[in-house]
Amino acid sequence: MTTTTAPTAPTAIPIAHYENFPVASWLCPPHLRGAISAIYHFARTADDLADEGSATAEQRLTDLQRYRNDLNGICQSPPQEPSVRWQSVFLALQATLQHHDLPAALLHDLLDAFVQDVEKTASGVGYASQSDLLDYCRRSANPVGRLLLHLYGVTQPQALQQSDAICTALQLINFWQDLSVDIPRGRFYLPQEDCQRYGVPQTDLLAGQQTPAATLLIAACAVSARAAMEKGVQLVHVLPGRAGWELRLVVQGGLRILDKIEALQFATLQTRPRLRWWDFPVMVWRAFWM
């Protein structure tokens, strides 16, 4: 007689990277910390393959395809053993897929976005329009929020839209925070049509010249990111208990970065603002009053 063993919940892997926002913190429901950690490490490892180190674009694309092959392997029935290189990532993710019936299509969306990053960086071509950039955010950021809502059992269409708004806002905030880091590495997220509208040539961006026109452009981008965040903030009242408080801090982390960008007079072509320990009491106070 064959017995079926219920999938074991994944164990949380420690978070080593600096992040603007809490990831699987103590506020997160304890029974979901392992699953959230597994999703985070899957996305973070793929992001590092696309962005870190000195690999060529061809090597990065090869690694991302191998990474996708491992994802496909653990999604099969029966699942295949992942490669040794990323075994810890995919064993935790496999447990999450089994235990929570995670939609793998959202994970593939993330990989599609990382592949797009590599290709655009290699070609030195950015995004033609705001709509093109938002379409990228749809695959690079929004799947994370939808995966978390899946874990929380939240499926209402309005909640999904609010999650998309928050995740897109967080992605945009990260772009405008990291201009001084991304542009020298050949990563252009300021839409070309916006650069033309404000009279900001790519040569100025490459030189890190914080011209008045560039300042106005970045200010407009920051205002747009804040507006996107405001479209989704009511989601904090939909998520139950500790999950809702976790999201409050995530939202306030993004808004705090926008405050810092504004305090710099939008000079992020030259300086990268980041959260410090003294920002967290401010975030907690504001989260309390949401």
In 10 A of CB 27, how many CB atoms?
17
For residue 260, is it within any domain? Answer: yes
Q: Are 49 and 114 in contact (CB under 8 A)?
A: yes
Q: What is the structure's pLDDT at 12? A: 46
111 shares a domain with 156 = no
Kindly report whether the peptide bond that precedes residue 143 is cis, defined as omega within 30 degrees of 0.
no
173 shares a domain with 119 = no
Asked which of 76, 101, 123 is the last residue of a domain, the reply is: 123
269 shares a domain with 158 = yes
Q: Are 151 and 36 in contact (CB under 8 A)?
A: yes
**How far is 269 from 284, CA to CA, in rounded Å?**
29
pLDDT tens profile 213-222: 999 999 999 9
Structure tokens at 54: 């000195």
Which residue has 């916006």 as its token pair? Answer: 194
For residue 15, is it within any domain? Answer: no
Nearest C-alpha neighbor of 284 from the set 249, 241, 239? 249
159 shares a domain with 79 = no
166 shares a domain with 110 = no
Q: What is the structure's pLDDT at 97? A: 93
Give the predicted TM-score (pTM) of the model: 0.88
pLDDT tens profile 136-145: 999 999 999 9
Q: Could you tell me the CA-to-CA distances from 143 to 80, 108, 129, 166, 290 in Å, in that order?
A: 24, 9, 21, 11, 24
Q: What is the structure's pLDDT at 5? A: 41
For residue 16, is it within any domain? Answer: no
Domain that holds residue 27: 23-123
Number of residues written out for the chain = 290
The full DSSP string for 7-75 is PPPPPPPPP-S--SS-SS-TTS-GGGHHHHHHHHHHHHHHHHHHHSSS--HHHHHHHHHHHHHHHHHHH
248 shares a domain with 137 = yes
Gyration radius of the chain over CA positions: 20
Q: Are 93 and 38 in contact (CB under 8 A)?
A: yes
118 shares a domain with 134 = no
For residue 160, is it within any domain? Answer: yes
Asked which of 69, 99, 123 is the last residue of a domain, the reply is: 123
- Counting the structural domains of the chain, the total is 2
CA 48, distance to chain mean position in Å, is 12
Q: Which CATH number goes with the domain that contains 283?
A: 1.10.600.10
For residue 10, is it within any domain? Answer: no
Q: Which residue ranges in the chain fall short of pLDDT 70?
A: 1-27
30 shares a domain with 102 = yes
For residue 288, give every residue at least 6 positions away whose Cβ sits within 8 Å of its Cβ, in sequence order, or none. Answer: none
For residue 14, is it within any domain? Answer: no
For residue 31, is it within any domain? Answer: yes
68 shares a domain with 160 = no
**How far is 1 from 180, CA to CA, in rounded Å?**
63
For residue 284, is it within any domain? Answer: yes
274 shares a domain with 213 = yes
Q: Could you tell me the CA-to-CA distances from 176 to 162, 171, 217, 272, 289 in Å, in that order?
A: 21, 9, 10, 9, 26
Q: Are 222 and 159 in contact (CB under 8 A)?
A: no
Asked which of 69, 104, 123 is the last residue of a domain, the reply is: 123
148 shares a domain with 73 = no
**How far is 160 from 168, CA to CA, in rounded Å?**
12
Q: What is the structure's pLDDT at 13? A: 47
174 shares a domain with 107 = no
